[in-house]
């Protein structure tokens, strides 16, 4: 049995007993309430979802299984996946075993390339990613075993199988989408000696004489891996999976949410914004010019992409990690310098405007400038990178939820009239 599966098999009985005891002993206790503002306001802050893979603290940001993301930036994405699933970093043998699993499962079926090549040439890369995943649904081990008859306690096993298959193929699928969609030439095959992130970098075909692009890809894939359970993509994925839809259906659904400009697409919007500034001022603007640009954006009713967050109330530590990477690798690049100048001026502007509850940069504020520096200038592509990383989180959440027997999601909705009656507003 592979190391990750063995570790999960060892942990799951105790986890199940723990939750059973918690619900039996404390099931009627109240952990959150819902106000009218929250019900009409996107359920912000309502604590009604369980996610044990990671937590987002408003004043600290992402914490994966008790470890702040800032302490994990030198790790490989594969290690993060193991950590998300089990709560422990893998030892050398377990990591090598997981990497072997990914290599063994990495061949992308030819029909995926046929479908991608048949899509309209101006398809958005996120539509291509979702399609590529959905078209592989017929491979699902979960679907096959469910149809054959499977006990609920076994659900996590084919969910893990499907997750490993999907994650193993995603770097090749993502790189293939880049090369097909932006006419970069033939597909580049995997190099079996490389780790998950470096292999993705290799298959994209980006010139990387110093290996820094591979480093950026590893960092990128670590930083975007998970962000607890309430963000749009994780929540959608969980809801779809709760109907016992398999990993392929659930992850592609989650990615459709990630493709929205208020969520993962903000990284492409952000670079668009930075390049518009670069064009307008013919390079890095002064603080005054940038302030003027931001105010005209806000006054025309648009958001400043890459700033604000539904949960965070401090600079996103994932932005801090990208910023540090940029300072080290491309501090003199004007596009990076615009991102750095925005970090100096935008929080004060948003504070003065007084609308955004979080005036600080989020993960999307700086990642595009780094990709741009390495020649990945097609910013429509950026959310695919986010999505491939976030598949680590979506899959690990699903494996854990299957293990714990999470039920079908079905909260109660009410109408506006009911709310009015409830609060005495009629």
Among 76, 173, 294, 363, binds ligand MLT (CB under 6 A): 363
- Residue 329 neighbours by CB under 8 Å, 6+ apart: 212, 216, 370, 373
For ligand NMX, the closer CB: 161 or 364: 364
Question: Least distance to ligand MLT from the beta carbon of 233, Å?
Answer: 6
Closest C-alpha to 356, from 303, 294, 392, 397: 303
For ligand NMX, the closer CB: 13 or 42: 42
For ligand MLT, the closer CB: 144 or 357: 357
Question: Least distance to ligand NMX from the beta carbon of 373, Å?
Answer: 20
For ligand NMX, the closer CB: 217 or 350: 350
Active-site annotation holds for 309: yes
Question: Least distance to ligand NMX from the beta carbon of 421, Å?
Answer: 27
Rounded Cα–Cα distance for residues 211 and 205 (Å): 12
Question: Least distance to ligand MLT from the beta carbon of 227, Å?
Answer: 3
Q: Does 357 bind ligand NMX (CB under 6 A)?
A: yes
Q: Does 423 bind ligand NMX (CB under 6 A)?
A: no
Stretch that binds ligand NMX, among 14-22, 236-244, 301-309, 403-411 (CB under 6 A): 301-309
Site for ligand MLT in 282-321 (CB under 6 A): 309-311
Q: Does 303 bind ligand NMX (CB under 6 A)?
A: yes
Structure tokens at 390: 């976030």
Site for ligand MLT in 343-362 (CB under 6 A): 362
Q: Does 254 bind ligand NMX (CB under 6 A)?
A: no
For ligand MLT, the closer CB: 42 or 405: 42
For ligand MLT, the closer CB: 5 or 218: 218
Q: Does 362 bind ligand NMX (CB under 6 A)?
A: yes
229 binds, among ligand NMX, ligand MLT, none (CB under 5 to 8 A by kind): none
Residue 242: CB atoms within 10 Å: 17
Annotated active-site residue in 124, 263, 323, 373: 263
Q: Does 310 bind ligand NMX (CB under 6 A)?
A: yes
Question: Least distance to ligand NMX from the beta carbon of 306, Å?
Answer: 5
**What is the SS3 string spanning the chain?**
CCHHHHHHHHHHHHHHHHHHHHHHHHCCCCCCCCCHHHHHCCCCCCCCCCCCCEEEECCCEEEECCEEHHHCCCCCHHHHHHHHHHCCCCCHHHHHHHHHHHHHCCCCCHHHHHHHHHCCCCCCHHHHHHHHHHHHHHHCHHHHHHHHCCCHHHCHHHHHHHHHHHHHHHHHHHHHHHHHHCCCCCCCCCCCCCCHHHHHHHHHCCCCCCCHHHHHHHHHHHHCCCCCCCCHHHHHHHHHHHCCCCHHHHHHHHHHHHCCCCCCCHHHHHHHHHHHHHHHHCCCCCHHHHHHHHHHHHHCCCCCCCECCCCCCCCCHHHHHHHHHHHHHHCCCHHHHHHHHHHHHHHHHHHHHCCCCCCCECCHHHHHHHHHHCCCCCHHHHHHHHHHHHHHHHHHHHHHHHHCCCCCCCCCCCCHHHHHHHHCCC
Contact 380, 125 (CB under 8 A): yes
Structure tokens at 81: 């996946």
Q: Does 227 bind ligand MLT (CB under 6 A)?
A: yes
Site for ligand NMX in 39-98 (CB under 6 A): 44
Q: Does 231 bind ligand MLT (CB under 6 A)?
A: yes
Among 3, 175, 338, 363, binds ligand NMX (CB under 6 A): 363
Q: Does 351 bind ligand NMX (CB under 6 A)?
A: no
For ligand MLT, the closer CB: 362 or 367: 362
Contact 406, 67 (CB under 8 A): no
Site string for ligand MLT, 147-186 (x = CB under 6 A): ----------------------------------------
Question: Least distance to ligand NMX from the beta carbon of 130, Å?
Answer: 17
Nearest-CB residue for ligand NMX: 308
Contact positions toward ligand MLT, by CB under 6 A?
Answer: 56, 227, 231, 263, 309-311, 362-363
Q: Which residues are catalytic?
A: 263, 309, 364
- Contact positions vs ligand NMX (CB under 6 A): 44, 262-264, 266, 298, 303-310, 355-358, 362-364
């Amino acid at each position: 049995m592979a190391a990750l599966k063995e570790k999960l098999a060892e942990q799951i009985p105790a986890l199940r007993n723990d939750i059973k005891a918690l619900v039996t002993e404390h099931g009627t206790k109240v952990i959150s309430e819902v106000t009218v503002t929250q019900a009409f306001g996107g359920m912000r802050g309502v604590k009604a979802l369980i996610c044990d893979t990671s937590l987002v603290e408003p004043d600290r940001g992402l914490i994966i299984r008790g470890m702040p993301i800032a302490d994990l930036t030198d790790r490989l994405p594969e290690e993060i996946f193991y950590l998300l699933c089990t709560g422990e970093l893998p030892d050398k043998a377990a990591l090598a075993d997981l990497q072997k699993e990914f290599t063994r499962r990495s061949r992308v079926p030819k029909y995926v390339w046929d479908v991608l090549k048949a899509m309209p040439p101006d398809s958005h890369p996120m539509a291509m990613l979702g399609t590529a995943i959905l078209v592989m649904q017929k491979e699902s081990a979960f679907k096959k075993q469910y149809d054959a008859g499977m006990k609920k306690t076994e659900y996590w096993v084919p969910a893990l199988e499907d997750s490993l298959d999907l994650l193993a193929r995603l770097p090749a699928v993502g790189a293939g989408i880049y090369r097909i969609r932006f006419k970069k030439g033939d597909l580049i095959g995997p190099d079996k000696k490389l780790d998950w992130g470096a292999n993705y970098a290799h298959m994209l075909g980006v010139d990387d004489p110093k290996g820094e692009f591979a480093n950026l890809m590893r960092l990128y894939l670590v930083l975007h891996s998970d962000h607890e359970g309430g963000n749009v993509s994780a929540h959608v994925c969980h809801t779809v999976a709760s109907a016992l839809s398999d990993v392929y259906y659930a992850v592609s659904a989650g990615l459709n949410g990630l493709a929205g400009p208020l969520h993962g697409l903000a990284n492409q919007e952000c670079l668009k914004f930075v390049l518009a500034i670069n064009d307008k001022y013919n390079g890095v603007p002064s603080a005054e010019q940038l302030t003027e640009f931001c105010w005209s954006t806000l006054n025309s009713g648009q958001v400043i992409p890459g700033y604000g967050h539904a949960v965070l109330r401090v600079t996103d530590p994932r932005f801090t990690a990208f910023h540090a990477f940029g300072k080290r690798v491309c501090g003199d690049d004007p596009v990076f310098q615009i991102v750095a100048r925005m970090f100096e001026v935008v929080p004060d502007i948003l504070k003065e405007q007084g609308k955004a509850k979080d005036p600080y940069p989020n993960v999307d504020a700086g990642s595009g400038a780094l990709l741009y520096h390495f020649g990945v200038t097609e910013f429509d592509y950026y959310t695919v990178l986010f999505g491939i990383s976030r598949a680590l989180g979506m899959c690990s959440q699903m494996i854990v939820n299957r293990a714990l027997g999470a039920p079908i999601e079905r909260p109660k909705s009410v109408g506006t009239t009911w709310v009015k009656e409830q609060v005495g507003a009629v």
